[in-house]
Structure formats: C-alpha cells, structure tokens
Amino acid sequence: MIYLDYAATHPMTAEALAAYAQAAALPGNPASVHAAGQAARERLEEGRAHVAAAFGVDPRTVIANSGGTEGDNAVLLGVAREWQEAHGAPGHLITTPTEHSAVLAPARWLEARGWAVSWLKPDAHGRYSPQELEATLRPETALVSIHHANNELGTVQDTPALTAVAAARGVPYHSDAVQAPGVLAVNLADWGVTYATFSAHKWGGPRGVGFVYVRRGAQLPPVTFGGGQEGGTRPGTQDTAGVYAAGVALNGAEAEREATFAHLSGLRERFMGNISDIPGLRVNHPADGSPKVVSVTLPGADGEALLMNLDLLGVAASAGSACSAGTMQPSHVLSAIGLSAADARASLRFSFGRATTPDEIDQAAAALRQAAEWSRA
C-alpha cells in the first residue's frame, strides 16, 4: 500500500512508539504525590515541555487534551460561555466556511442558540483578507476563529496579519493549527493568537492526544467539570504516555521540519508533473500552500469510484477530511471556494509525509491515471 493520506493521520514514528511504551509502563497517576505518581508526572511534563518548545511558548500555556476536535469545541464554547455570562446575552462569532467540522459544528450550534455568526468569504484558494475581517468586526464580537493551514487545500493563512486586526479591537483570536506542525513553522508568540489547537497524530504522535494553547493572561473557562487537572481547564486524568510520546514525536518532527518541507515540495512538484496531462484535470491547491497537500478535480469522474479504484491499485488517498469520510457529500471546503457539487464530488486529496518516496509518487501518479480512465469509462 502506498500511503498518501498524511493529512488524515501521520503514522506513529518509531521514536514515539518507544516513548509511549516506556511511559505506559509507569504505574502511577500523575496527580498522585507518591514516588510512582511523581515519576508519571515527570514524563507528562517532559512531553508538554517538548510541545511548548516547538511552539515557542511557556509550558504553562499548553493544555493537554484528546485532540483538535475537543480543543476547537473547548475554545468556541468556553469563550462563548464566558461572554454570555458576562453580558447576559449571546455575542458575535467570526469564522469561515472552510474550517474543519470541529469548528463548523460548534459555530452552528451557537448560531442556533441566538449567537450571530459571520462567515468570511474565501478567495479561489480559500484565503481570507485582513480587510474583510476588519469590516466584519463588531463591538459584540467575542471571538475570531480562522484555521492556519487548511486540511483539504493546504492553503496557509497570513495569521499574524489577521490576529493584528483582531488584537487592535481587543478581540480574542483562535487558530485551528492542526495541519501545521512538522511541515510549517509554528511560533505562537509571533502569530499573536490567543488560542491555538493541535492534534498529535498529525505529526507522528499517538491518536487521541492533543493540545490547546492559551496565551498568558487569557482565560478559557472549562466546558467539562471534575478535578483540577490542567489548571482546571480540562479535568480528568491525563494520558501520560500519550502526552510524552506526542512531545517526543514533535521534537523529532521539528528537528527535521526544514528538510521535510523541502522533501515534500519536491514530491509535490514531481507528482504534479506526472499527472498534469490527465485530460481535464484541474488543480485546487495553491502553489504557495503547504507542500503536504495536493487537491485535484477530475471532471466527469465519480469521487467514490476514484477512491475505490485507487485502493484496488494500492494507493490510499481521500476525498477530503477523514472526519467527514463515509458521507460522500460534496466537500464543504471545495464548495466554499466555488466548485460545483459535481466537481467537488470528482475531487481527490493526496497528502505526503517524510516517509513518502519519489518511487511511490511515480506509482501513485500512474495509478491515478488508470483510476481516472476506469472511473470515466
């Protein structure tokens, strides 16, 4: 199998697997005061420190959780709760139609309960302008939530420019940055975000582990209640092994990030060169986006048939976000940038990783050519 679905999940690295096994063998609860508990606490905090170092922030601003979906919900619903309690009425949220469903769903949930939600308009590649954000802000805007790197297109936002607009009006800014680490530089202080969310399995860590960054001085009220773990923001016994393995994986990914970026850029250029003459093929991803992602449309083909044919030919790709897989509904991201429902259904996403080889790229390109012929027959 040629695995080209790294945007869905990055296989755990050997170093992360070894770190997980080591930490999982520790018997203690990291909240316990005895020696076994403190040994677990040391591993937990070591993992957190690796994550904080990679993002250029203080470890005390990094909250461990189960991943991007929990983090996105915690930020949107936590900030909304705080605003509504302080003002006695629903506020205003600004977000975009190309967000991951983990942002779209809580935004729509709030909208159904009286919140005003403004959806910024993307350009043809899914970018958002600071000028439009400035024009959309209101006195009652409680939060701006815009992803950094898009999971289906690879489009990278100018996050510092966007956060500067929000900051000038005193509005908190959240970035779903799940797709950035290991490929793109992540310096949260330079970005100027109030909140950022991450999933470890996107950089070779374990699934079911993630992090929320909360800038010093900002508040994030809990949306779940229990013990005092993670400063009371995310109660519940922490996954010591998962957090430690996530930190080890990110430490390795960050050390190789520049080489990875160059490697993926070469792979994407090679892949596009190999498939550019497929009849009718259209490119959706921007040339200056994350080199991990390729998005193409093959008009007249059926996306489900394309995926099945690629799978038969030994290539794992996707039709969009894995979190929406199985529905075969048109991608909301591709629809938002102007593709028709038929073209969105005829689109595929390929995403590469550090372990992807040029030979695999050549084989995958040949498989796509064959799959397109079968799907259009």
Cα angle for residues 250, 204, 159 (degrees, 5° grid): 60
Specify the DSSP element, H or E, that contains 332.
helix 332-336
Pairing of strands 315-316, 2-3: parallel
In the chain, the largest separation of any two C-alpha atoms, in whole Å, equals 68
Q: How far is CA 353 from CA 12, 217, 228, in A?
A: 12, 36, 38
φ, ψ of residue 136 in degrees (nearest 5)? -95, -20
Buried (b) or exposed (e) across 102-139, using 16+ Cβ within 10 A?
Answer: bbbbbbeebeeeebebbbbebeebbbbbbebbeebbee
> Please, how many CA atoms are within 13 Å of residue 190, restricted to the half-sphere of its CB?
7
- Residue 316 pairs in a beta bridge with 3
**What is the C-alpha separation between 198 and 202, in angstroms, rounded?**
8
The alpha carbons of the chain give a radius of gyration, in whole angstroms, of 21
The whole-angstrom distance between residue 163's C-alpha and the CA centroid of its chain comes to 18
Lookup: tokens for 1: 């199998």
- Residue 283 pairs in a beta bridge with 296
> Do residues 370 and 363 make contact, with C-beta atoms less than 8 angstroms apart?
no
227 DSSP assignment: S
Pairing of strands 195-199, 173-176: parallel
Amino acid at site 143: L
**What is the C-alpha separation between 336 and 310, in angstroms, rounded?**
26
323 is catalytic: yes
> Do residues 153 and 293 make contact, with C-beta atoms less than 8 angstroms apart?
yes
List 323, 324, 366, 376, catalytic entry: 323
The residues annotated with a catalytic role in the active site are 323
